[in-house]
């Protein structure tokens, strides 16, 4: 598992993945056995007008990492997205299904996959979806912070595979241990709309906020998104992440613990 290894975490301030010399120097300095690329320009709507920035981070960055890791004989894990699909299939997508991104974000992430495949044969490309955790910035955490409102409108007509970040990390750890390079789907089991996701969280937290199911057209997003991007795996070598509801349950539990800690109560 990942927690049995020494991890070195480099954020954007410590390493600009769009600068090849910086990437190469960092790898020479740290001498890792494996690199996990979790960097991304993930502002889906913003990418439509900031195309150069999206491609710099989502394509040039992976290219630099792939070139440098290949030169040094280092394995590379590259995290990608369900948005490489167009959602027209109407059934869960597996790794062999044709891609057809609808947005600049999706197209740039697909191009990032392609440069990794072509430049470093020792690669694991991991497609995941709808990530949430109690840290950082993500949709479900944002909804939790709005739970004091009496009513929230949440889209109910697009479906994906909500994925709890610790579950994804555990799945990646198992994949790395397999030594089986390739492209994989690792996402929460089952399917859900964003309304299902928020409703499940508020039920578990016993919040009285009214969560109203509405069409995605109510929000007037700039970038098109797939209506159905549920991920399934045809070649995960028995690596399956827990169902998305289990992720929400753990997420809710962690939020409760953090709330208690911030209030100064002792947790035993």
CATH number of the domain encompassing residue 47: 3.40.50.720
Q: Give percent of the chain with pLDDT exceeding 90.
A: 83
User: Which residues are designated catalytic?
Assistant: 105
Tell me the pLDDT tens digit for each residue of 121-148: 999 999 999 999 999 889 999 999 998 8
Report yes or no on 106 lying in a domain.
Answer: yes
Strand ranges in the chain using DSSP code E only, listed in sequence order: 34-37, 75-81, 123-128, 131-132, 151-155, 159-160, 163-164, 182-185, 192-193, 210-214
Report yes or no on 125 lying in a domain.
Answer: yes
**What is the token pair recorded at 188?**
């929460």
The single-letter DSSP state of residue 124 is E
| Cα atoms in the 13 Å half-sphere on the side-chain side of 232 | 12
Q: How far apart are CA 247 and CA 132, in angstroms?
A: 9
Q: How far apart are CA 34 and CA 126, in angstroms?
A: 14
What is the rounded average pLDDT of the residues 15-19? 94
Report yes or no on 268 lying in a domain.
Answer: no
Report yes or no on 110 lying in a domain.
Answer: yes
The 10 Å Cβ neighbour count of residue 183 is 18
Based on the structure, what is the number of domains in the chain? 1
Q: Which domain covers residue 7, as residue numbers?
A: 2-263
Report yes or no on 146 lying in a domain.
Answer: yes
Can you give the pTM of this predicted structure? 0.92
Report yes or no on 224 lying in a domain.
Answer: yes
């Amino acid at each position: 598992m990942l927690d049995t290894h020494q991890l070195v975490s480099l954020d954007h301030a410590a390493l600009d993945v769009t600068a090849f010399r910086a990437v190469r120097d960092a790898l020479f300095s740290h001498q890792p056995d494996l690199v996990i690329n979790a960097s991304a320009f993930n502002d889906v709507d913003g990418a439509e007008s900031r195309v150069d920035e999206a491609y710099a981070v989502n394509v040039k960055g992976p290219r630099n990492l792939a070139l440098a890791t290949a030169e040094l004989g280092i394995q590379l894990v590259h995290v990608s997205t369900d948005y490489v699909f167009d959602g027209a299939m109407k059934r869960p997508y597996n790794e062999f299904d044709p891609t057809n991104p609808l947005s600049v974000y999706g197209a740039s992430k697909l191009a990032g996959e392609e440069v990794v495949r072509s430049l470093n044969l020792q690669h694991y490309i991991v497609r995941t979806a709808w990530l949430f955790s109690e840290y950082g910035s993500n949709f479900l955490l944002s909804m939790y912070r709005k739970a004091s409102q009496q009513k929230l409108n949440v889209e109910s007509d697009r479906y994906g595979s909500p994925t709890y970040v610790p579950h994804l990390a555990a799945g990646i750890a198992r994949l790395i241990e397999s030594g089986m390079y390739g492209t994989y789907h690792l996402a929460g089991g089952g399917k859900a709309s964003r309304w299902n996701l928020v409703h499940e969280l508020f039920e578990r937290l016993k919040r009285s906020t009214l969560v109203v199911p509405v069409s995605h057209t109510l929000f007037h997003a700039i970038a098109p998104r797939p209506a159905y991007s549920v991920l399934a795996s045809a070649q995960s070598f028995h690596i399956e992440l827990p169902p998305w509801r289990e992720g929400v349950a753990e997420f809710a539990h962690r939020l409760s613990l953090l709330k208690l800690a911030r209030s100064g109560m002792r947790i035993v």
